[in-house]
A and B are shown apart, each in its own frame.
Chain A
Amino acid sequence: MQLPPALRSRLVGAPGAAEPLPVERDPAAGAPPFHFAARRVRFPRDHEFFEDGDVQRHLYLQDVLTQVTEAPERPRRAFPSVHLLDTHILEWHDSLFQILSERQDMYQCLVEGCTEKFKTGKDRKDHLVRRHLYPADFRFDKPKKSRGPATPVATVQVLAEALGDDGEQSGGDAMEVCSEHAGPLPERVGERRTYSHRIPSTICFGQGASRGFKSTKKRKEHR
């Protein structure tokens, strides 16, 4: 298919269009026995017109992906989600929370985007199970055990249990999490940890760490 040479330069030129030629229709056009009418066409999801492209899409998906890891260091910390951790810090370490919860519903739903709040942990758990189909033994919602005023050691234990440690010794990680929150608590209300994200440097179109097109060697066998 021979394309006019000017086409490629048009592509990188300025946006816009030529002045359209005047339109002048004759009523006889497309009149019976003819029936042409210029029409935009729409295809729904399952139309067979899409069959070829859909098959190509799925052939692509079915290739085994391989991950080429660049970072030699595997992550040493294991945190549950920011949302959960914040919720925990708020609920477990905050005596002010305790006071407030006597007056209003303070246990917020753990599902991102759900704004429901409950009076007790148990009510919340029931909601999670009924509404969000969570498993009945979901681990991040253990009922609070009554302990004395929070001391660093006790706090560590309690948080470790909440993280579902199966009763084993909490590792250094849990200790690190808690040490930032030991001490008098009222100032801690509303504290949010911030986690920095590594922003990757600019990736050029056609290059980069995308796994779909990384292993071109493996691609070729399917061409």
Chain B
Amino acid sequence: MWSGRQGRLRPVGCVVEELRCRRREREAALRKARREQQLVSKRLLRDDVLEEVEGGCVAKILGEAEIQQFLRLAQRGTEEKERERALVSLRRGLQHPETQQTFIWLEGSIRTLVGLLTSSQALLQLEAARCLHELSHSEQSAVAEACLPATSYLLTYLSGHSSDFIELCLYTLGNLIVESEAVRRQLLPQGIVPALAACIQSPHLTVLEALGYALSQLLQAKEAPEMIIPSVLGSTLPQHILRLLQPGPKLNLGVAVEFAWCLHYIICSQVNNALLIYHGGLSTLGLLLLDVAGAVQRTEDAGLELLACPVLRCLSNLLTEAAVEVGGGPNQLEDERVVAALFILLQFFLQKQPSLLPEGLWLLNNLTANSSSFCTSLLSMDLIEPLLQLLPVSNVVSVLVLTVLCNVAEKGPAYCQHLWPGPLLPCLMGTLASSDTEVVGQSLELLQLLFLYRPEAVEAFLQQSGLQVLEQHQEEAQLQDRVRALQKTALHR
């Protein structure tokens, strides 16, 4: 099979391998960026239809003279069509970094562009906005920051009428937001939070997705917990975000993904999560989780983990809030369907995105740690065995699975009665033999609880050569005290 991609014919295998390679490189770069707290991503909005109409030929780099000519024509041409064409040519040229550089250093260029942005002709405005958008997407700070004089206008246009135009402004703002703290320091006093709070009432899905993106980047900023999130929480944005995350037939996946990430950045910043709980955040997110689990069963859409991930994180972190500790009422999550949904998602992660298993198990821990109700659900819905099936995935996953099992076991004899006899003990024999200290350590904790509340299990343990397995770790500093204690318990039966 030959791939006709981009007019170059190559065997499909090569293309796929190249793509995989490029993706691995990108992932590695993103991980590095995250460790350095520089993880930002710009978005580029390009019109497929437009590109087709323009003939699909590669735009060329523009020189100074050409740029000046196009600007002059755009500004002072006599015919509207002529002016528009000039701007289109400029915009296409601006797809090139070289053109961008030349452009920003030309005297008066940005001022002219901003003037066209504020002209009374819709098509000129749109093209000027597209030019700005190309510039905003640049990786060169100087180019992106050259757009700063336009920000007050972009914000103004958020309460305009053309949804396409608003969308473009939002993505442009989003790109500028991630550019630097200096840019954000300008946008905040210019009123970006109230502008977004007004714009979020738009019924247009494309606008909402763009807004969610821009807001998520604003909330992800380093200085967000101190400088941005408080005013966001003080606006009507939280209520609107939760409204847009309500499950049901009107829920749009692209929109939901953006706002779920917004909510995650707010919650994990620990500024005022009680407010979100007050607005029904727990209930909304719980129901949303059910919806995602349902969707996962219906469709092969591999994009659902992009929504599942932030929802899990939000729920897990919200569950740690003091407001949730007080039992009963709407502040509590007491619906065992959430546990069912979570397991369906765990299975989905196992197949599509194993790296998300730890996050799913983290939620399971937070659900079961202080809840006899959810621990009982795990037992009554026969979920212990599926949980054990995750043990071989990785050491991190093993530790989390064992922790959840400890959550169940520590509740006492009534719970341990359901843990033995059963598949748990044989699995424990496996994890006890692990070379990972943490896995073994957590296994020892579970074993102690099992011996304490289900003494009959000791005999079975001995019969399965448990003592020999324990002996392996007798000299291990972090484990030896616990190993000895268990040996003593086992031998005294």
Which residues does A use to contact B, with CB under 8 Å? 1-4, 6-8, 10-13, 15-26, 28-30, 33-36, 38-46, 48-62, 64-69, 74-84, 110-114, 131-135, 138-140, 160, 163-166, 170-171, 173-174, 195, 197-200, 202-206, 208-213, 219, 221-223
Q: In the complex, what's the smallest C-beta–C-beta distance from B189 to chain A, in angstroms?
A: 5
Q: In the complex, what's the smallest C-beta–C-beta distance from A136 to chain B, in angstroms?
A: 10
- Structural contact, A164 and B159, CB atoms closer than 8 A: no
- Structural contact, B294 and A3, CB atoms closer than 8 A: no
Complex Cα spacing A26 to B482, Å? 18
Specify which of A11, A30, A51, A199 is in contact with B344 (CB 8 Å cutoff): A11
Query: Given known contacts A68-B48, A160-B120, is B365 in contact with A29 (CB within 8 Å)?
Result: no
Please tell me which stretch of B63-71, B100-108, B332-340, B429-437 contacts chain A, meaning at least 4 of its Cβ atoms lie within 8 angstroms of it: B332-340
Query: Given known contacts A11-B344, A26-B453, A40-B370, is B485 in contact with A33 (CB within 8 Å)?
Result: yes
- Structural contact, A206 and B250, CB atoms closer than 8 A: no
Complex Cα spacing A54 to B306, Å? 10
- Structural contact, A79 and B340, CB atoms closer than 8 A: no
Complex Cα spacing A29 to B424, Å? 19
Complex Cα spacing A26 to B293, Å? 37
Q: In the complex, what's the smallest C-beta–C-beta distance from B309 to chain A, in angstroms?
A: 4
Is B382 an interface residue when CB atoms closer than 8 A count as contact? yes
- Structural contact, B31 and A53, CB atoms closer than 8 A: no
Is B239 an interface residue when CB atoms closer than 8 A count as contact? no
Among residues of B, the one whose C-beta sits closest to the C-beta of A61 is: B41
Specify which of A51, A114, A222 is in contact with B34 (CB 8 Å cutoff): A51
- Structural contact, A139 and B336, CB atoms closer than 8 A: no
- Structural contact, B209 and A20, CB atoms closer than 8 A: no
Among residues of A, the one whose C-beta sits closest to the C-beta of B448 is: A34
Other 8 A-B pairs with CB < 8 A, given A18-B377, A45-B268, A197-B202: A4-B382, A38-B406, A45-B265, A49-B358, A62-B43, A65-B43, A131-B189, A208-B254
Please tell me which stretch of B54-62, B85-93, B190-198, B464-472 contacts chain A, meaning at least 4 of its Cβ atoms lie within 8 angstroms of it: B190-198
- Structural contact, A58 and B194, CB atoms closer than 8 A: no
Q: In the complex, what's the smallest C-beta–C-beta distance from A161 to chain B, in angstroms?
A: 10
4 A-B pairs with least C-beta separation: A113-B194, A210-B254, A212-B254, A33-B481
21 contacts between A and B (CB under 8 A): A11-B341, A19-B376, A24-B414, A25-B411, A28-B452, A30-B448, A36-B445, A36-B446, A45-B225, A45-B268, A67-B48, A69-B47, A69-B49, A81-B158, A112-B198, A113-B194, A200-B205, A203-B249, A205-B250, A205-B252, A210-B252
What residues on A are CB-neighbors of B247 within 8 Å? 205
- Structural contact, B386 and A1, CB atoms closer than 8 A: yes
Specify which of A17, A29, A113 is in contact with B410 (CB 8 Å cutoff): A29
Q: In the complex, what's the smallest C-beta–C-beta distance from A68 to chain B, in angstroms?
A: 6
Q: In the complex, what's the smallest C-beta–C-beta distance from A91 to chain B, in angstroms?
A: 16
- Structural contact, B119 and A29, CB atoms closer than 8 A: no
What residues on B are CB-neighbors of A205 within 8 Å? 247-253, 291, 295
Complex Cα spacing A15 to B340, Å? 11
- Structural contact, A34 and B209, CB atoms closer than 8 A: no
- Structural contact, A79 and B410, CB atoms closer than 8 A: no
Complex Cα spacing A1 to B190, Å? 52
Specify which of A7, A26, A79, A174 is in contact with B160 (CB 8 Å cutoff): A79
Specify which of A44, A62, A173 is in contact with B270 (CB 8 Å cutoff): A44
| Interface residue tally for chain B (C-beta within 8 Å) | 153
Query: Given known contacts A4-B386, A205-B249, is B261 in contact with A34 (CB within 8 Å)?
Result: no
What residues on A are CB-neighbors of B303 within 8 Å? 60, 212-213, 219
What residues on B are CB-neighbors of A8 within 8 Å? 297, 340, 344
- Structural contact, B365 and A40, CB atoms closer than 8 A: yes
What residues on A are CB-neighbors of B343 within 8 Å? 3, 7
Q: In the complex, what's the smallest C-beta–C-beta distance from B263 to chain A, in angstroms?
A: 13
What residues on B are CB-neighbors of A61 within 8 Å? 41-43, 213
Q: In the complex, what's the smallest C-beta–C-beta distance from A179 to chain B, in angstroms?
A: 15
What residues on A are CB-neighbors of B156 within 8 Å? 80-81, 83-84, 110, 140
Is B230 an interface residue when CB atoms closer than 8 A count as contact? no
- Structural contact, B452 and A26, CB atoms closer than 8 A: yes
- Structural contact, B366 and A65, CB atoms closer than 8 A: no
Among residues of B, the one whose C-beta sits closest to the C-beta of A55 is: B30
Q: In the complex, what's the smallest C-beta–C-beta distance from A7 to chain B, in angstroms?
A: 5
Is B491 an interface residue when CB atoms closer than 8 A count as contact? no
Complex Cα spacing A53 to B303, Å? 13
- Structural contact, A56 and B353, CB atoms closer than 8 A: yes
What residues on B are CB-neighbors of A62 within 8 Å? 26, 41-43
Query: Given known contacts A42-B317, A203-B252, is B337 in contact with A81 (CB within 8 Å)?
Result: no
- Structural contact, B302 and A219, CB atoms closer than 8 A: yes
Complex Cα spacing A51 to B453, Å? 38
Is B413 an interface residue when CB atoms closer than 8 A count as contact? yes
Query: Given known contacts A18-B380, A34-B448, A195-B161, is B389 in contact with A1 (CB within 8 Å)?
Result: yes
Specify which of B157, B193, B309, B481 is in contact with A57 (CB 8 Å cutoff): B309
Complex Cα spacing A189 to B75, Å? 36
Among residues of B, the one whose C-beta sits closest to the C-beta of A128 is: B152
Specify which of B37, B47, B270 is in contact with A46 (CB 8 Å cutoff): B37
Complex Cα spacing A45 to B156, Å? 32
Specify which of A18, A59, A209 is in contact with B205 (CB 8 Å cutoff): A209
Complex Cα spacing A77 to B47, Å? 21
Is B412 an interface residue when CB atoms closer than 8 A count as contact? yes
Within 8 A of A (CB), among B319-357: 319-320, 334-337, 340-341, 343-344, 346-347, 350, 353, 355-356
What residues on A are CB-neighbors of B122 within 8 Å? 74-78
- Structural contact, A135 and B149, CB atoms closer than 8 A: yes
- Structural contact, A58 and B336, CB atoms closer than 8 A: no
What residues on B are CB-neighbors of A25 within 8 Å? 410-412
Is B98 an interface residue when CB atoms closer than 8 A count as contact? no
Q: In the complex, what's the smallest C-beta–C-beta distance from A54 to chain B, in angstroms?
A: 6
Specify which of B126, B203, B376 is in contact with A20 (CB 8 Å cutoff): B376
Complex Cα spacing A2 to B123, Å? 57
What residues on A are CB-neighbors of B162 within 8 Å? 75
Is B45 an interface residue when CB atoms closer than 8 A count as contact? yes
Query: Given known contacts A43-B268, A62-B26, is B453 in contact with A75 (CB within 8 Å)?
Result: no
Within 8 A of A (CB), among B152-211: 152-153, 155-162, 164-165, 167, 171, 186, 189-191, 193-195, 197-198, 202-206, 209
Query: Given known contacts A38-B407, A61-B43, A83-B159, is B294 in contact with A12 (CB within 8 Å)?
Result: yes
Is B301 an interface residue when CB atoms closer than 8 A count as contact? yes
